[in-house]
Amino acid sequence: MEKQELPFELGYRMPAEWAEHECTWMAWPKDPSTFPPELLPGAEKAYIEIIRNLHSGERVNLLVDSDGYAARITGLLQADGIGMENVALHVIGTGDVWFRDYGPIFLTKEGGEVAYTHWRFNAWGNKYYELLNDTHIPEKIPIGSMRGFDVPMVLEGGSIDTNGKGTFLTTEQCLLNRNRNPQMSREVIEKNLHDYLGATNIIWLKGGIAGDDTDGHVDDIARFVNDDTVVCALEEDQEDENFAILRQNYELLRMARDQDGNRLNVVPLPMPEAVAYNGQRLPASYANFYIANRKVLVPTFGGSNDLRALEILRELFPGRAVVGIGCRELVYGFGALHCITQQQPAALNTSSNMPD
CB 245 within 8 A of CB 206: yes
Q: Is 339 a catalytic residue?
A: yes
Active-site pick, 23, 174, 327, 339? 339
CB 119 within 8 A of CB 154: yes
What sign has the CA pseudo-torsion 161, 163, 165, 168? negative
Tell me phi and psi for residue 311, to 5 degrees. -65, -40
Contact residues for 273 (Cβ-Cβ < 8 A; gap 6+)? 301, 303, 304, 305
d(CA 338, CA 336): 6
Residue type, 307: L
CB 176 within 8 A of CB 213: no
Contact residues for 257 (Cβ-Cβ < 8 A; gap 6+)? 201, 263, 264
- Specify which residues 21 forms β-bridges with: 345
- Annotated catalytic residues are 339
